[in-house]
Structure 1
Amino acid sequence: MLRLTTSIALLFSGVVAASPLPDFPFINVTGQAMLEVAPDKAQIRFQLRQTGTTAEQATRGVYQQGEKLLTFLKSKGITEQALDAAQINKEALFKDYQDRSITGYEASQPITLTLDNLEHYVAIMDYLFTQPQIFSIHSSFDHSQREQFEITLSEKAGANAKQRATMLAAAQGVKLSTVFAITESGGFGSLAGDFGFAGGQVSFGRMEKMSADSAMAGALLAPKQITLQKSINVIYKLNP
């Protein structure tokens, strides 16, 4: 019985020593800030993909589709510098899962297109969606002054955290002291979960038609605004 009691005491002592909690009165709050801005740039990711009975045929098909893409983009005043192309991939096509006889080949090339303005966004999306050998098309929107906006959001999130902490402390009859910790990334174990910045989250606002360069343009929309969000976690020491 004596040895059992001793073991429990040692275990409890070890748990206390490993605790991530501060050893003084504190309050942990999350400040948040949000800003809606009109996007002025976009990034479009897609894949050129072609199949053929031979590896050369499939690869040449990707080359030809790439040349057509460059010709179209140049007609919109977009240079090759806006494109980031990965290495071409080649895969064998088999008859089925059991019969591994090669029946052909598939070549593909991931492409990233960065648009510094949205003037031709809808026309470009029209082109990409109507090309039979272009797949996996995804768009994301951003603003060229994101860094300046994030500085403003960080300041507002910090002010919001202090306001929340002050109100909570006053409700308990105590006052805020100094800041013990403030972070933009995860930390403090399970104390605050995802402790830190939310990574500059982007969510879309209302959608609107950007242009009418083609007969299909009415079906394609771009966001009228995007919502930038920041959250920041702060630990304040408390005075009685």
Structure 2
Amino acid sequence: MKLATRISSAVLLISSSVAASPLPDFPFINVTGEAKLDVAPDKARIQFMIRHTAERADAATEAVYKQGRDLMQFLASVGVSEADIDAAQINKEALYKDYNDRAITGYEASQPITVTLNQLTHYIDVMDYLFKQENVFSINGSFDSSQREELETKLSQQAGEDARRRADRLAGAQGVKISTVFAITEAGGWGQLAGDFGFSGNAVSFGAMRGKAEMADSGANLVLPRHITLQKSVNVIYKIKP
């Protein structure tokens, strides 16, 4: 795992005594600290839609039922349990000749599915299966770490320490000292004072990719990320003293 810390922004402000000012009425420093960590993903979520159209509603619906049964059978063969499959209600829509002519020409049945893979062993196998199914659309895979909560707790602490170091350097350069913390936030904001205060959410960015070795000869282009990036930022206002 690769760890990097960065201070994204900092500003030294001395507030005025204007009654209508939203700023604190004492000298302060506002800093933003950030911590970032690259980790190998060990779980994934795959979202997709089973969809079929037919002239008759029963034919469209039955096709979705059959695709669902085939899907369940395949997922069971690669060790995915029913508890890790979330299927929404089947939806049916009428298809019309055009916008002005509302004569029904057919029906479309669809069902959103989410599959959680608690290990990545069969990720590419599952994606390959889905891409080859005629009635499966809008396939999207996202990656995560089972240690996210623990890692983000550490990143939050490191981001806070980063902010303190930056505040100490800025204060020292101006011949003043840090006193106490006036405000610290993980989310929200204080207008133009510090922009959007808070952690950068649970955003995940993707690093270099690798393919599945045994699929190289088939020309398949399915990939797994070598790492995902977890990131936290914290904004702090410190009181300063001469």
Q: TM-score, normalised by structure 1?
A: 0.89
Q: Secondary structure at the match of 1:167?
A: helix
Conservation of the 8 A alpha-carbon contact between 2:34 and 2:231:
yes
Conservation of the 8 A alpha-carbon contact between 1:43 and 1:112:
yes
Aligned partner of 1:13 in structure 2 is none
Aligned partner of 2:132 in structure 1 is 130
In terms of Rg, which structure is larger? 1
Matched, 1:229 2:231: yes
1:97 Cα deviation from its structure 2 partner:
1.6
Q: Which amino acid aligns with 1:232?
A: V
Structure with greater strand share of residues: 2
Unaligned regions of 5+ residues in structure 1, if any?
1-15
Q: Secondary structure at the match of 2:83?
A: helix
Q: Which amino acid aligns with 2:91?
A: N
Q: Distance in 2 between matches of 1:68 and 1:214?
A: 27
Q: Secondary structure at the match of 2:163?
A: helix
Unaligned regions of 5+ residues in structure 2, if any?
1-17
Percent identical: 63
Conservation of the 8 A alpha-carbon contact between 1:36 and 1:228:
yes
Conservation of the 8 A alpha-carbon contact between 1:123 and 1:217:
no
Aligned residues: 225
Q: Distance in 2 between matches of 1:43 and 1:156?
A: 28
For residues 167 and 214 of structure 1, do their structure 2 counterparts lie closer, same or farther at Cα, with a shift above 3 Å needed? Answer: closer
Conservation of the 8 A alpha-carbon contact between 2:35 and 2:159:
yes
Conservation of the 8 A alpha-carbon contact between 2:180 and 2:239:
yes
Conservation of the 8 A alpha-carbon contact between 2:46 and 2:142:
yes
1:169 Cα deviation from its structure 2 partner:
1.2
Conservation of the 8 A alpha-carbon contact between 1:161 and 1:232:
yes
Aligned partner of 1:3 in structure 2 is none
Q: TM-score, normalised by structure 2?
A: 0.89
More displaced 10-residue stretch of structure 1: 216-225 or 130-139: 216-225
RMSD value, Cα = 1.6
Q: Which amino acid aligns with 2:120?
A: L
1:20 Cα deviation from its structure 2 partner:
2.3
1:187 Cα deviation from its structure 2 partner:
3.0
